[in-house]
Amino acid sequence: MSEARRHGMDDLLAIMARLRDPQNGCPWDVQQDFSTIAPYTIEEAYEVADAIDRKDWHDLRDELGDLLLQVAFHAQMAKEANLFEFADVTQAISEKMIRRHPHVFGDESYDDLDAQKQAWEDIKAAERAAKGEQHDDSALAGVSRGLPEWKRALKLQERAAKVGFDWPDEQPVLDKLLEEVGEVRAEFANGRDVQRLQDEIGDVLFVVVNLARHAGVDFSQALRHANAKFERRFRAMEQLAHAGGKPLPEHDLASQEALWQRAKAQEKPASS
């Protein structure tokens, strides 16, 4: 039996075009637009990160395919609207990578990584100017509003730190975190004004991102680990409750806390 033909990018683009065909395509795919597909694109990017975090390389292959499909989907919709095609996407990113790496594709050289990072920002600023974007000489210029908010917080903090607006180490960040938590407590005590609670809880989250930055910890990865740990322990609680002959919802909070502690105790000593 001959080996199955390996599909390439042209095949994927053809499949996507067929799915979007108004007469013979998939009704769901045909109904989508950029705004409805965007959330799936973000979700698939996180699925890629999750597969890497779990070191599941087979799953990573599949998730990268799902993410690539999102690119093909957006490119097909753009082609239908006479905006651009997939080849324009690959052309644009290729040109950008060459332009932003003159030390690789040209004769430029940098003394260290910091100099390279600064050159990267300078090149990006020149690109914005070439597009006719209004000049913005703020240290925060160019931080995208399309980023996940935790990522945008990190970018803003990194930019501010470059001009010296930063704490010297983690201790004042920890002190600031306690201060902000105290302000949240005060708002709860003062009547639970939703808008003010939103502001104060936002301050707490911003400081937590800053704390992760000072610790050298990836905020998103830390939260993924916390989510995985919670899910693992909660499922263990359910199993313990079931083994005891009483479903978890029938336990009161004190009993559930005892099950939680048992679930924790079952894990390796290194886990927290």
Reported confidence tier of residue 1, pLDDT bands at 50, 70, 90:
very low
Whether the CB-CB separation of 59 and 66 falls below 8 Å is answered with no
Provide the 8-state DSSP code for 251. Answer: S
- Summarised one tens digit per residue, pLDDT across range 55-112 is 999 999 999 999 999 999 999 999 999 999 999 999 999 999 999 999 999 988 988 8
Under a CB-based contact definition with an 8 Å cutoff, are residues 128 and 142 in contact? yes
Q: Alpha-carbon distance 93 to 125, whole Å?
A: 17
Q: Tell me the whole-structure pTM to 2 decimals.
A: 0.64
* CA–CA distance, 164 with 35 (Å, rounded to integer): 39
Return the pLDDT at 269: 63
The average pLDDT across 117-134 equals 81
- What pLDDT, in 10s, does the model give residues 180-238? 999 999 999 998 899 999 999 999 999 999 999 999 999 988 998 999 999 999 999 99
The answer to whether 30 touches 21, Cβ cutoff 8 Å, is: yes
Mention every residue, 6+ apart, whose C-beta is less than 8 A from residue 198. none
Statement: residue 2 has pLDDT above 80: no
Average pLDDT, the chain: 91
Q: Domain 9-98 in CATH: superfamily? A: MazG-like (1.10.287.1080)
Which residues, including other chains, have CB under 8 Å from residue 247's CB and lie 6 or more apart? 241
